[in-house]
Chains A and B, each alone.
Chain A
Amino acid sequence: MDVVRDVLDQSVIDRNGREMGRVDGILIEQQPNQPVHLTAVLIGPAALGDRLHPAVGRAVRRIEKSFGVDENRPARVAFADIDEIETKIRLRLTISETAVAAVEQRLRSWLLRLPGSR
């Protein structure tokens, strides 16, 4: 499996097929004289911001904090929780077991106040 081609920037879905976002970052860990192993994928705009520049990532985290949606974000999903890596990356988890939907839910609560919200 090629990590950059097959994992990074790909779509992530949960156990039930619900869209969770994209792999915005990948964490690896190395112990001395051991091969590097893939620890977790990161999902969230803060992780994406980090890729542009650490300052951007920090700014995104500050914005998330000011809206109160920074807890457990960017969402960290252990590689052990990945079921399969195909066209999309399917997890063993459900979306509610992660914090990926925090912004979506916050905006949803605002939208629901508008008339005619379907």
Chain B
Amino acid sequence: MTGEVRLDRLVGREVYTANHRRLGRLEEFRAERRGTSWIITEYLIGAAGLVERLGLGARLIVGIKRPTGYIARWDQLDLSNPDRPTLTCAAESLQRR
């Protein structure tokens, strides 16, 4: 993608590995200020979605202590096809949440 894309429509999109396997859903975008612009430094990819998003209260009830999933650096995710975010690296090299 060159040109503009709606970030809000990317939220919740399924992320795929290079082998077309489903990794998880795109949950969050970490950004940092560089001068006058903000750039995205990391993508948070979640394991399942619903309970993760519900936060601490619900997680405590269901028994999950910390959010599960992966953190991808900006260069580890390819958004050139916004309908199908794909990893540029092996899933194993992703940081775990």
Contacts and interface: CB of A to CB of B under 8 A. Distances in A.
26 contacts: A1-B30, A1-B31, A1-B33, A2-B28, A2-B29, A3-B28, A8-B11, A25-B6, A25-B8, A26-B7, A27-B6, A27-B7, A29-B3, A30-B2, A30-B79, A31-B2, A32-B2, A35-B41, A35-B74, A37-B38, A38-B37, A38-B38, A39-B4, A50-B6, A79-B37, A79-B38
A5 B39 CA distance: 16
Contact of B4 (A8, A29, A79): A29
Interface residues of B, dominant DSSP: strand
Contacts of A36: 39-40, 74, 79
A21 B5 CA distance: 21
A26 B6 contact: yes
Interface of B: 1-9, 11, 27-33, 36-41, 44, 74-75, 79-80
Interface string A6-44: 001000000000000000111111111001111100000
B2 to A, nearest CB: 6
B27 A37 contact: no
Interface size class on chain A is 20 to 34
A32 B32 CA distance: 19
Lowest 7 A-B CB distances belong to which pairs? A35-B74, A26-B7, A38-B38, A3-B29, A35-B39, A36-B40, A37-B39
A65 interface: no
Contacts of B4: 27-29, 39
